[in-house]
Amino acid sequence: MKALTHWLVMCFVVGFGLVGSVRAGDYTVPNANELNALIMRLRATQFLQHATFGARDAEVNALASRMAQIGAYPALNEWIDNQFALPVTLHAQTIREMYQAENVSPIDSAVNPIRFRYHSWWHNAITAPDQLRQRMGWALIQLFVVGEIDNFNSIANDRTGQPSWMGITNYYDMLLTDSFGNYRTMLTDVTRHPVMGVYLSHLRNNKPNLATNVFPDENYAREIMQLFSIGLYELNPDGSFKKNAANQLIPTYDNDKIQTFARLFTGMTYAQSTSLNNGAVNFHEPMMMFEANHDKDAKNVFGATLPAGLAGLVDLNLGLDNLFNHPNVGPFVCRRLIQRLVRSNPSSTYLGRVVATFNNNGLGVRGDMKAVIKAILLDPEAFDGIAMIKKSPTTLEVRPGLSERTRLQEPIILYAQFLRRYASSGHSTGRFLLPSLDGIWGQAPYRSPSVFNFYLPDFQPAGDITNVIPSPSIPNGELVAPEFQLLNSVTGNAVPNRYRADIYNQTTNHFMYTGATGSVNFTINFAFPVETGLAGNSTALVEYLDKALCCGTMSNAARTALITALNQEPTSTTALDKAKGALLSVLTSPAYNIVE
């Protein structure tokens, strides 16, 4: 039954797609050169949807021109190299600039300073030149998850003289800084960051005391293995589960291993403490090690034993080395990164190639993130979610991929893309001082509800996705769609309502804090000059929106429906109203929200 369903889906796509079903959209252009230019433009748009917080027309055009000039692959490779070379836009620096510009103190609760945490995130997503790094940081915080808890919201300076509430920003900046480095560096930095120490409670974790039956906290030991590095079950390099003789999954670790690693993560506390339990909060420096509180016994790690008596940080580094070299790390981590950047269900061949790069960048280095990022973004399968078929020298059929090749884009990324294209700041500094906005789509910077992030990597929405059997190229025989965990009967309306209010009103006020004379708001403005200019020609308007926002994946039927709706308007309907109605329609359509 299930196999039949899948086969039918295949038939539907292949059989009817070619004769102009709702699946495919056709573009006819005057000559072959323009056809090639169109292909480059759509591919550039697709690539920038993977690598940035959304593409502006000028960025797309520049990249497309370069692709035409030196070839697609060299141009994309060059674009990535240019991004690698850009300095990091750090959020702490952005925050400092913001509160200095407002001339307020970051430890004055009257100005609600924690808001700067979200302001800087949105501002950098919208404006930072190092878009690839910002996008990677957002992917990495969803791997090495921390979320806001009360401890992180203290409006007072910590030991370093910096606001405690900026500690979690410091953690985010650490991931940004590390994102083009080595995964092994991240393991150390994450493990020793006091924000993680508090979040997963290994800060002030003491060695066992057998006399009182007190044992180290196992929280971090469990989560670093389960969520940050190797996962629950042994994997092949292509992401498929290993099976034992009885055809069962093989757990990567047991409780003994958790207890062993729990002993590894002992002795750490806030930097500049006088003892394990005596020291002021310090969220800005790596945790320090107290030798007397670090478990000095031998540790039976994966396939090796760490000898007894090692200095704490030596022991820690050897233990993290051991975890880093576990063969599961490549398939576990790379699958999550592909899910965040490209698609929900990487094939075994795609994942296998990225994992091979993770295991060895070609120079014998394991965990090289630059190489991994290129492997993810430049793989042929990163593009095959959209088939582009030249039906004639001047006609292009654009056919979006099967279920296996797509992803529901994260709502926060879609909104950032919307802002990058259409928004301007109404603030005197030109900065984007937006709030967290998590009430709308259930996703916001620093607001992961738990260490399990906003959605589980294997989440399946109810319905067809749970029942279909994917092609054999998909490891483990089922499709997942994590981001659907955020889409429900509430957000299904609330998210379009946010877009509608922004687009129709062209200005939105966001509350920042209550000042001496009442609410102080941030005003954001929206304009749609290109769309309005095209609105006299419904077909031109719809084709523009399709290319710019949907990579050309709107079906002929979808385009026709929107063109028809526009053409049915009376002559009294203004160009601006047509532009607004059309833009809202596309932003809330399946073709836009499901990305290839």
Q: Please choose, from the candidates 442, 484, 443, 494, the residue with its C-alpha nearest in 3D space to the C-alpha of residue 464.
A: 484
The residue among 501 and 527 lying less far from another protein, judged by its C-beta, is 501
The residue among 13 and 289 lying less far from another protein, judged by its C-beta, is 13
Count CB neighbours of 477 within 10 A: 12
| Alpha-carbon span 43 to 49, nearest angstrom | 10
The residue among 2 and 391 lying less far from another protein, judged by its C-beta, is 2
For the record, the structure tokens of 304 come out as: 């090796």
The residue among 84 and 241 lying less far from another protein, judged by its C-beta, is 241
Smallest separation (angstroms) from another protein to the CB of 133: 28
The residue among 287 and 465 lying less far from another protein, judged by its C-beta, is 465
Smallest separation (angstroms) from another protein to the CB of 328: 15
Smallest separation (angstroms) from another protein to the CB of 159: 20
Distance of CA 273 to CAs 165, 338, 478, Å?
19, 40, 50
Query: What's the CA dihedral at 65, 70, 71, 77 to 10 degrees?
Result: -90
Contact 41, 64 (CB under 8 A): yes
- Exposed, middle or buried by CB within 10 Å (0-12, 13-18, 19+), for 230? buried
Smallest separation (angstroms) from another protein to the CB of 356: 26
The residue among 435 and 449 lying less far from another protein, judged by its C-beta, is 449
Smallest separation (angstroms) from another protein to the CB of 487: 5
First vs last Cα of the chain: how many Å apart?
28
The residue among 226 and 539 lying less far from another protein, judged by its C-beta, is 226
For the record, the structure tokens of 170 come out as: 């410091």
The residue among 98 and 444 lying less far from another protein, judged by its C-beta, is 444
Smallest separation (angstroms) from another protein to the CB of 78: 32
Q: Name 517's Cβ contacts closer than 8 Å, sequence gap at least 6.
A: none
Q: Please choose, from the candidates 412, 428, 418, the residue with its C-alpha nearest in 3D space to the C-alpha of residue 523.
A: 428
The pair phi, psi for residue 518, each rounded to 5°, is 115, -165
Q: Please choose, from the candidates 141, 71, 77, the residue with its C-alpha nearest in 3D space to the C-alpha of residue 371.
A: 77
For the record, the structure tokens of 245 come out as: 């003789």
For the record, the structure tokens of 118 come out as: 């979200």
The residue among 54 and 581 lying less far from another protein, judged by its C-beta, is 581
Smallest separation (angstroms) from another protein to the CB of 470: 10
Smallest separation (angstroms) from another protein to the CB of 327: 20
Smallest separation (angstroms) from another protein to the CB of 562: 5
| Alpha-carbon span 21 to 99, nearest angstrom | 54
For the record, the structure tokens of 296 come out as: 């000095």
The residue among 138 and 592 lying less far from another protein, judged by its C-beta, is 592
Smallest separation (angstroms) from another protein to the CB of 20: 13
* Angle, helix 115-127 to helix 131-141, in steps of 10 degrees: 130
- Exposed, middle or buried by CB within 10 Å (0-12, 13-18, 19+), for 264? buried
Q: Please choose, from the candidates 174, 117, 92, 102, the residue with its C-alpha nearest in 3D space to the C-alpha of residue 438.
A: 117
